[in-house]
């Protein structure tokens, strides 16, 4: 594993019956960098993300996080270890019927020390800490269902970052956003990069890649067909 790599995958394989979906994937994610994973539908990107995030068990290969063995059996285990995923379906990352403040503190409300947070004033104070850290300028009392898609995306990412993960996975985050909305998301990602988070960004949009990527990894038919090294895209 590279000296500055916080997350390392080596020889990862996954099959469903006789169908090998991942054929020995290796990659590294580095603190404070955005690695873009690109590839057509069916290339194996979703399967790779689901293994890293604890949805699927790996068939073979190893994963290491901050030098330690990483083999989550559930998404909750992955989150506790320091790997958080924001999925393409934003509704998977927010609770639309609750307000922004509750969404940003929801995981704390169900964890240790939750009794201290149940007062609305405490919830909003805790949420403000999370929002300020992310530079999130959204009314904390607003119901998430009333927000624009872009603002819901921001809330989902801020909620993920409340866990202070080492690795953040963003799955096609601009697929439903306008150009202006995407620019807001890119600014947030720049902030996360500045905080030293290693980001795996799933996308096939060249505009996203040009704007964000420090490294690119291309997948095809379950194998890496591109170089994940440093890039210089004009």
Count of CB atoms situated within 10 Å of the CB of 27: 21
Mark residue 167 as left, alpha or beta (left: phi above 0; alpha: psi -120 to 50; beta: remaining): beta
What DSSP string describes 146-202?
GS-HHHHHHHHHHHHHTT--SEEEEESTTTT--HHHHHHHHHHHHHHHHTT-EEEEE
Check residue 234 and give its pLDDT. 46
What's 210's DSSP letter? H
Q: Does position 226 have pLDDT exceeding 90, yes or no?
A: no
Interatomic CA distance for residues 143 and 152, integer angstroms: 10
% of the chain with per-residue pLDDT over 90? 58
Count of CB atoms situated within 10 Å of the CB of 62: 14
Interatomic CA distance for residues 82 and 27, integer angstroms: 17
Q: Report pTM.
A: 0.86
Which of 86-95, 201-210, 211-220 shows the lowest mean pLDDT across its residues?
A: 86-95
Q: Buried b vs exposed e over 148-159: b needs ≥16 C-beta within 10 Å?
A: eebbbbbbbbbb
Where do the domains of the chain lie?
Answer: 1-82+165-234, 92-162
Interatomic CA distance for residues 4 and 156, integer angstroms: 28
Q: What is the pLDDT of residues 122-168, one digit of tens each?
A: 888 989 999 998 888 899 999 999 999 889 988 998 888 888 899 99
What is the CATH code for 1-82+165-234?
A: 3.40.50.300
């Amino acid at each position: 594993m590279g000296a500055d790599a916080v997350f390392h995958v080596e020889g990862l394989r996954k099959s469903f019956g006789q169908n090998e979906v991942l054929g020995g994937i290796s990659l590294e994610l580095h603190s404070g960098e955005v690695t873009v994973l690109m590839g057509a539908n069916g290339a194996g990107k979703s399967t790779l993300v689901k293994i890293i995030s604890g949805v699927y068990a790996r068939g073979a290969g190893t994963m290491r996080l901050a030098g330690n063995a990483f083999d989550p059996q559930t998404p909750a285990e992955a989150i506790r270890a320091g790997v958080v995923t924001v999925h393409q379906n934003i509704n998977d990352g927010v609770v639309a019927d609750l307000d922004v403040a509750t969404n940003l503190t929801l995981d704390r409300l169900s964890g240790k020390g939750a009794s201290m947070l149940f007062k609305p004033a405490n919830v909003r104070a805790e949420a403000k800490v999370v929002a300020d850290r992310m530079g999130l300028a959204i009314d904390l009392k607003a119901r998430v269902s009333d927000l624009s898609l872009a603002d819901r995306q921001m809330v989902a990412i801020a909620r993920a970052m409340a866990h202070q993960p080492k690795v953040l996975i963003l799955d096609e985050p601009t697929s439903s956003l306008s150009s202006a909305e995407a620019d807001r998301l890119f600014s947030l990602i720049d902030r996360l990069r500045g905080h030293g988070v290693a980001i795996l960004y799933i996308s096939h949009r060249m505009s996203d890649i040009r704007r964000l990527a420090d490294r690119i990894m291309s997948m095809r038919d379950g194998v890496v067909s591109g170089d994940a090294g440093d890039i210089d895209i004009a």
